[in-house]
Amino acid sequence: MGNNIVFNDKNSLLRDHEIEGMKSQLELVHNELHSKTGKGNDFLGWLDYPSSFDRQEFERVKSAAKKIRKDSEILVVAGIGGSYLGARAVIESLKHSFSELLPREKRNSPHILYVGNNLSSNYIMELLEVIRGREISLNVISKSGKTIETSISFRILREYMEKTYGERARDRIYVTTDRHNSAIGDLAKLEGYQTFTIPGDIGGRYSVFTSVGMLPVAVAGFDVDEIMRGASDAQIEYSEPDIEKNPCYRYAVERNALNRRGKDVEILTIYDPSLQYLAEWWKQLFGESEGKDGKGILPMSLCFTTDLHSMGQYIQDGKKNLFETVINVEKPKKDFYMFADNENLDGLNYLSGKTVDFINKKAMEGTMKAHVDGGVSNLMITIPELNEYYIGKLLYFFQKACAISGYMLGVNPFDQPGVEDYKRNTIELLKADEKKMNLNII
C-alpha cells in the first residue's frame, strides 16, 4: 500500500457503464473546481491551502501551543461546527482512549475540553465546576464572532478568567477569527488577546488545516507538520483528473452513481471508537455541503461492532435506500493476542494466538458480506494506520471528494443558507422576547 489511501469498490454493486457514463461530467466539474469558475468559487482557499498556507502564522501557532502546554492543565476550545469538529476529529483519532485518566507524566499534554458547541446550561455550569482551581487557557474560534452558542460561552468563560487571573487573563485567551470583519476580533484588539486567522476564502467545515484546527491539535501534543505534509501530498495526488488514478474522485463519482439509483442515505462505518469524531466532522462536511435545493445524500455514521447490536438489523433487512462507506485502518495503534484457557468454558480457545484486531477485521469482513448479500452497496476506504500523516491525507481526501460530489449534484458545496436561517430565526425570537419583557416592565 505504501503511503496511499486505497478506495475499494468491489462491493459497490454498481455496473461499469454507470461509472463510465459519469466521466464526462466529472471532467467538467474538475475543471470548474480547479479553474475556480464554479459555484461558491470565492470559498476555495482550502483547495491549495496545504501548499500555500501562511508559514509565519503556522510558526506562531506552534509557539502559542508550546506556551499553553507549559502553563495550562486544560485548554478550553470554544466553537461549534467547523470551528471545533476538525480539531476534535484529529485529537480523538490520535489520542489515548482514556487520556483523561492517565497521570500527567504519561499524558504529557493538557486536557482539551470543548464548549460553545451547544446551549445546555447544565454542560456549561459543569464545565465551570471542572476547571475551577486549575490552570487553564481558552481558545475561542468564530469566523464572524457572532455565533450565538460560541459567543455566550465565551462571555461566561472570559468573565471567569478575568476574575481568576485579572489582567493576566489576556495572556491565556487566544482568538481565532476573520482578520477583517469580526466582532470578536475587535474585542481581541481592545483587550490585547493573541489572534489567529481564519482565511476569508475558507468556510468553517473546510478549515481544519488552518489555525482553527492546528492550534488545539498542537496543544494536544500532535505533530502538525506531519498533518500538513499528509494534506500537501493529498493535494497533489487528488488533483489527478483521471478517475482510474484518483481514489478521491472515484469515491465522489460512485456515491453520486448510487444516489441516482435511489440511495439517498450514506452510512460512514467505523470499527474503532477513536474515529467517532472524524465521523462527526464528515457528517457536517457532507451534510452542510450537499443538503440544499431539495438534493443531497443524508450522511449518517455508525461504530461497529457496537452498533451492529442496535442498527445492524435495519441495515440488513430494512429499506434499501442506503449504502455504506467503511473506513478500514490496516494497522492498529495497539493490539493484544488472545490466549488459551485450560477450561475453555467460553469456547474461545479457537481464537488463541489471534489478535483482537484480526478478530475485528473478520467481523468487518463478515458484516460487509452479510450486508452486500442483503443488497446493500459497500464502499471501503483503507488507510495504513492512524497517525498524523494519514489523518491529514484522509481529511483532505474527504474535502476534495465533497467538493467534487457537490458539483456533480448541482449544488453549491460551500454555502449553508439553511444554517443561516436557523441563526436568524433564533436571534429574532430572542429579541422579540426581550421587547415583550420591556413592555411588561413599563
Q: Which residues have a catalytic role annotated?
A: 288, 423
Q: Which three cell numbers stand for residue 17?
A: 457503464
Instruction: Kindly give the residue spans of alpha helices, DSSP state H, lying in 291-379.
Output: 312-317, 356-373
Quickly list DSSP for 140-191: EE-SSS--HHHHHHHHHHHHHHHHHHGGGGGGTEEEEE-SSS-HHHHHHHHH
Strand order across the beta sheet in which 265-270 lies: 6-8, 378-385, 322-331, 265-270, 298-303
* CB 196, CB 160: distance < 8 Å: no
Cα(361)–Cα(289) distance, rounded to whole angstroms?
Answer: 32
- From residue 112, give the alpha-carbon distance in Å to each of 87, 216, 256, 393: 10, 8, 37, 23
Which SS3 state, helix, strand or coil, does residue 366 take?
A: helix
Which SS3 state, helix, strand or coil, does residue 94 take?
A: helix
CA atoms within 13 A on the CB side of 150: 25
- From residue 426, give the alpha-carbon distance in Å to each of 152, 264, 432: 14, 29, 10
Cα(143)–Cα(202) distance, rounded to whole angstroms?
Answer: 10
- From residue 106, give the alpha-carbon distance in Å to each of 98, 100, 103, 217: 11, 11, 6, 18
* CB 269, CB 324: distance < 8 Å: yes
- From residue 84, give the alpha-carbon distance in Å to each of 79, 90, 280, 431: 5, 10, 11, 27
Tally Cβ neighbours within 10 Å of residue 56: 8
Tally Cβ neighbours within 10 Å of residue 429: 10
Cα(23)–Cα(433) distance, rounded to whole angstroms?
Answer: 54
